């Protein structure tokens, strides 16, 4: 895979940039306003996790094609502490922030495909795709 | 789904146009129905806002740009609500699944822990055991020995719910594996204590009473392991007397010697055994006094032992507004000859 664009996350402000780029690309591909908002929210969650738990990392964006479908693929990567139990984190009701809905399970809901890889001490990679309907 | 969505979106638009023009209640009722249909089909709030925006744009092609932006802003704000809604939906489904799983387990527990009430001439036995939640952490059992004596066990796991219920199966199987011979109660409690001590986490304790009743002589030999005391009712004097022995709850330390004592009962006398779910019944903020239990029993002395325990249960169930705080078990044994 050859990412077309990428946003580095160091400070909270970068989350806004990451959302913005994602929304612009989504709009360009032809996603509806609702889906644009969903993609931006998913990026927000991923970027905020990087900012909060890994200190820094990046989000890459790629327009992908599969048969006749077009999609937007997001990859969030960091070299932070990693997540020890991804299954647990993916359970509803787990978020440490105590809020409802958001977090990684939220990202999975907002998008169509979701994969997470993480190794303790090495970092976390989350890949997620939304297909144009 | 696509069709449903389009149909409802059109309906929404029509109702919206009607309402903007006439502000009538009929349109509002209409949107209530549409909104319910949306919920039923898991349409999320951001999608409804989007339907609204589209409808408005179609109805008023030259809408203020700033007004339009404000609606986009609202849509954005709804995304998180949509997620929260989905999560709650999912948690709700999980809860329903969990509940039905527990009710299957509770049913299974009932079957597993079933004990047969001995049917012996001259002896009237009544017993009831009701869990506070679905699974019961109280247990009673009758053992019929070959020499005609009857073993009576009553136990209460400290704690309630599923862990307590799982723990109780252990007591049941240990009791089942006893020889069908008269065995001194302290020996039985000593054995069970070792089983519990070895097989449970150190925070699991069980209180228990074991007694052996001889229907020929009317003598009850008993031993207690930290359990709620029993009461002996003397019919001649119309008086309840407490009986118990000192003894550590099961599962605390490996080697415990239990004590033994005995009482002899006469015709029409009763032995009453219970768990703390009975004595710790609450009436508002007040714990009941044991005398209140006696008074209720007295009211129903004319009934059979089984009807008696049932009526006592019903009394305390009502007193606690039908919400048991703890598993409730009561056993009455009356000598009728
Ligand atoms: N990139 C990451 N690196 C290390 N740990 C992470 C990372 N992302 C998530 N985690 C861990 O996974 C947990 C769950 O993350 P998730 O985003 O689902 O919820 P949250 O951040 O706790 O709360 P919310 O996102 O709802 O505010 C986090 O508390 C954190 O411990
Ligand atoms: Mg998070």
Closest C-alpha to B43, from B68, B91, B78? B78
- Section B88-113 average pLDDT: 90
The values of phi and psi at residue B65, to 5°, are: -60, -40
C-alpha span between B165 and A101 (Å, rounded): 34
C-alpha span between A21 and A39 (Å, rounded): 10
The pLDDT, as a whole number, for residue A98 is 63
Q: Which of A15, A47, A50, A83 to mutate to test the pocket of ligand 1 (most atoms within 8 A of CB)?
A: A83
How large is the greatest C-alpha to C-alpha distance in chain A, in angstroms?
Answer: 41
The values of phi and psi at residue B224, to 5°, are: -120, 140
The pLDDT, as a whole number, for residue A1 is 44
pTM: 0.73
The pLDDT, as a whole number, for residue B36 is 94
Chain Cα centroid distance, residue B321: 15
Query: Looking at the predicted structure, is the pLDDT value of residue A128 above 50?
Result: yes
The pLDDT, as a whole number, for residue A96 is 64
Which residues contact ligand 1 via a Cβ below 6 A?
Answer: A 45, 49-50, 53-54, 78, 80-83, 89, 95-97, 99, 102-104, 124
- Section A125-133 average pLDDT: 96
pLDDT tens digits, B38-54: 999 999 999 999 999 99
Q: Domain locations in chain B? A: 2-92, 116-335
Query: Looking at the predicted structure, is the pLDDT value of residue B140 above 70?
Result: yes
Mean pLDDT over the full length of chain B: 91
- Section A99-126 average pLDDT: 92
- Assign residue A43 the CATH number of its domain: 3.30.565.10
Q: Are B24 and B31 in contact (CB under 8 A)?
A: no
- B116-335: CATH architecture: 4-Layer Sandwich (3.60)
Query: Looking at the predicted structure, is the pLDDT value of residue A122 above 80?
Result: yes
CB spacing of A102 vs B86 below 8 angstroms? no
| Residue A108 near chain B (CB below 8 Å) | no
- Section A83-93 average pLDDT: 89
B2-92 matches B116-335 in fold: no
Token pair 């979701």 is found at A114
Alpha-carbon gap: B137 to the closest alpha carbon of chain A (Å) = 28
Share of chain B above pLDDT 70, in %: 99
pLDDT tens digits, B155-182: 999 876 788 888 888 888 888 888 888 8
Helix axes A103-110, B65-112, angle to 10 degrees: 110
The CATH classification number of B2-92 equals 1.10.1240.30
**What is the band of B271 on the pLDDT scale with cuts at 50, 70, 90?**
very high
ipTM: 0.86
| Residue B72 near chain A (CB below 8 Å) | yes
pLDDT tens digits, A12-22: 999 999 999 99
pLDDT tens digits, B220-234: 999 999 999 999 999
Q: Are A27 and A56 in contact (CB under 8 A)?
A: no
DSSP line for B139-157: EEEEEE-TTS-EEEEEEEE
The two three-digit tokens of residue B156, written as one number: 């209460």
The pLDDT, as a whole number, for residue A2 is 47
C-alpha span between B80 and B86 (Å, rounded): 10
Domain that holds residue A117: 5-131
pLDDT tens digits, A29-50: 999 999 999 999 999 999 999 9
- Section B48-69 average pLDDT: 92
The two three-digit tokens of residue B12, written as one number: 């929404």
C-alpha span between B155 and A67 (Å, rounded): 67
């Amino acid at each position: 895979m050859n990412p077309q664009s990428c946003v580095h996350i160091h400070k909270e402000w970068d989350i806004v940039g990451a959302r913005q780029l994602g929304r612009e690309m989504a709009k360009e591909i032809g996603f509806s306003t609702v889906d644009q908002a969903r993609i931006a929210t998913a990026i927000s969650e991923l970027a905020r996790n990087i900012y909060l738990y890994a200190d820094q990392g990046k989000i890459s964006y790629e327009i992908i094609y599969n048969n006749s479908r077009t999609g937007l693929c997001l990859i969030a990567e960091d070299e932070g502490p990693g997540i020890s139990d991804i299954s647990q984190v993916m359970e509803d009701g787990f978020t440490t922030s105590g809020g409802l809905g958001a977090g990684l399970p939220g990202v999975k809901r907002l998008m169509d495909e979701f994969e997470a890889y993480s190794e303790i001490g090495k970092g976390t990679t989350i890949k997620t795709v939304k297909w144009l309907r | 789904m696509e069709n449903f969505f389009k149909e409802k979106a059109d309906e929404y638009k029509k109702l919206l146009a009607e309402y903007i023009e006439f502000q009538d209640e009929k349109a509002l009722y209409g949107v209530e129905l549409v909104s319910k249909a949306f919920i039923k089909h898991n349409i999320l709030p951001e999608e409804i806002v989007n339907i609204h925006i589209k409808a408005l744009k179609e109805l008023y092609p030259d809408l203020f740009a700033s007004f339009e932006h404000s609606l986009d802003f609202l849509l954005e704000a709804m995304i998180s609500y949509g997620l929260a809604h989905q999560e709650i939906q999912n948690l709700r489904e999980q809860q329903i699944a969990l509940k039905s799983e527990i009710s299957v387990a509770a049913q299974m527990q009932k079957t597993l822990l079933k004990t047969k009430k001995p049917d012996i001439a001259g002896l009237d036995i009544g017993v009831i055991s009701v869990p506070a939640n679905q699974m019961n952490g109280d247990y009673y059992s009758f053992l019929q020995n070959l020499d005609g004596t009857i073993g009576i066990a009553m136990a209460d796991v400290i704690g309630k719910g599923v862990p307590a219920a799982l723990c109780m199966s252990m007591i049941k199987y240990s009791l089942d594996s006893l020889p069908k011979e008269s065995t001194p109660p302290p020996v039985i409690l000593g054995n069970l204590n070792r089983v519990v001590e070895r097989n449970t986490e150190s925070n699991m304790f069980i209180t228990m009473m074991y007694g052996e009743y001889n229907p020929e002589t009317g003598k009850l030999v008993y031993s207690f392991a930290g359990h709620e005391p029993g009461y002996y009712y003397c019919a001649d004097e119309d008086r309840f007397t407490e009986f118990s022995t000192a003894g550590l709850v099961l599962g605390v330390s490996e080697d415990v010697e239990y004590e033994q004592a005995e009482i002899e009962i006469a015709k029409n006398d009763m032995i009453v055994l219970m768990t703390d779910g009975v004595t710790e019944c609450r009436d508002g903020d007040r714990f009941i006094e044991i005398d209140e239990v006696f008074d209720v029993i007295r009211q129903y002395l004319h009934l059979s032992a089984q009807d008696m325990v049932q009526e006592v249960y019903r009394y305390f169930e009502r007193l606690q507004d039908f919400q048991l705080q703890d598993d409730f078990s009561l056993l009455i044994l009356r000598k009728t000859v």
